[in-house]
Amino acid sequence: MKVSKKKDFRENPDKLESRLIAARKELMDVRAQLSSGGSIGDPTKPRELKKEIAALLTIKHELENN
């Protein structure tokens, strides 16, 4: 995730929530594809999605505490 995106999410919490839901759904789809024996184009995709979800949750918690 780029720095500019993080700034955008801090300014617009609704956008943050919708991206968090989308990232979780995408991770679930990738995991389902892998568990059914399929392959994904980018093997680092699950790791990138988990990092993005963690960053989004961090921003969400920062906004809740302020």
Q: Which pairs from 17-21 meet CB under 8 Å and 24+ separation?
A: 17/60, 19/56, 20/53, 20/56, 20/57, 20/60
* Positive or negative torsion for Cα 8, 10, 14, 18: positive
pLDDT digits (tens, 9 = 90+) for 21-52: 999 999 999 999 999 988 888 899 999 999 99
Question: Where do the structural domains in the chain lie, given as residue ranges?
Answer: 13-65
Looking at residue 5, its amino acid is K
Instruction: Identify the pLDDT of residue 41.
Output: 87
* Positive or negative torsion for Cα 42, 43, 49, 55: negative
CATH of domain 13-65: 1.10.287
Model confidence at 18: pLDDT above 80: yes
Instruction: Identify the pLDDT of residue 40.
Output: 85
